[in-house]
Amino acid sequence: METVRESGHALVVGAGIGGLAAALALGRTGWRVTVLEQAAAIGEIGAGIQLSPNGVRVLSALGVLDGLLPTAFHPEAVEMRLGRSGRHVFRIELAETAVRRWGAPYLHVHRADLLDALLTGTAGSGLDITVRTGSTVRSYEQTPEGVTVSLDSGRRVSGSLLVGADGIHSVIRGQMLGADEPRFTGHVAWRVTVPVERLGRAVPPPTACLWVGDGRHAITYRLRGGALVNLVAVVERDEWRGESWTERGTRQEALADFEGWHPTVTTTLREADTHYRWALFDREPLENWADGRVALLGDACHPMLPYLAQGATMAIEDARVLAHRLQHTDDVPRALRSYAAARRPRTARVQAGARRNGQRFHQGDDFAYLPLWLLGKLAPRLYHRRLDWLYGYRAP
What string of H, E and C letters represents the secondary structure of 326-376? Answer: HCCCCCHHHHHHHHHHHHHHHHHHHHHHHHHHHHHCCECCHHHHHHHHHHH
Does 221 participate in catalysis according to the annotation? Answer: yes
Alpha carbon distance 4, 19 (integer Å) = 21
Looking at residue 46, its pLDDT comes to 65
Q: Enumerate the H helices of the chain as residue ranges.
A: 17-27, 53-61, 65-68, 95-102, 111-122, 171-177, 251-257, 263-271, 311-326, 332-360, 370-378, 380-386, 388-391
Q: Please provide the DSSP assignment of 199-264 as one string.
A: TGGGPPPSSEEEEEEBTEEEEEEEEGGGTEEEEEEEEE-S------S--B--HHHHHHHTTT--HH
Q: Are 298 and 49 in contact, with CB atoms under 8 Å apart? A: no
Within a 13 Å sphere around the CA of 75, how many CA atoms are in the beta-carbon half? 29
Within a 13 Å sphere around the CA of 230, how many CA atoms are in the beta-carbon half? 23
Q: Which entry of 221, 307, 339, 391 is annotated as an active-site residue?
A: 221
Residue range(s) occupied by CATH 3.30.9.30 in the chain: 183-282
Looking at residue 180, its pLDDT comes to 80
CATH code for 183-282?
3.30.9.30
CATH code for 9-180+283-391?
3.50.50.60
Residue 268: name the closest of 204, 222, 210 by CA: 204
Four-residue CA torsion sign, 65, 70, 76, 80: negative
Q: Is 271 left (phi over 0), alpha (psi -120 to 50) or beta?
A: alpha
Cβ-Cβ contacts under 8 Å for 160 (sequence gap 6 or more): 7, 8, 9, 10, 146, 147, 293, 332
Burial class (CB in 10 A: 0-12, 13-18, 19+), 345: exposed
How many other C-beta atoms lie within 10 A of the C-beta of residue 314?
A: 25
Alpha carbon distance 203, 191 (integer Å) = 16
Looking at residue 368, its pLDDT comes to 65
Looking at residue 240, its pLDDT comes to 64
Read off the amino acid at residue 256: A
Residue range(s) occupied by CATH 3.50.50.60 in the chain: 9-180+283-391
Hey, which residues does 360 pair with through a beta bridge? none
Read off the amino acid at residue 380: P
* pLDDT tens-place values along the chain, 396 residues long: 333 334 599 999 999 999 999 999 999 999 999 999 999 888 766 689 999 999 999 999 999 999 999 999 999 999 999 999 999 888 889 999 999 999 999 999 999 999 999 999 999 878 999 999 999 999 999 999 999 999 999 999 999 999 999 998 899 999 999 988 778 888 899 999 999 999 999 999 999 999 998 889 999 999 999 999 999 999 988 776 665 666 789 999 999 999 999 999 999 999 999 999 888 888 889 989 999 999 999 999 999 999 999 999 999 999 999 999 999 899 999 999 999 999 999 999 999 999 888 777 766 666 566 666 566 666 677 788 889 999 999 988
Looking at residue 356, its pLDDT comes to 86
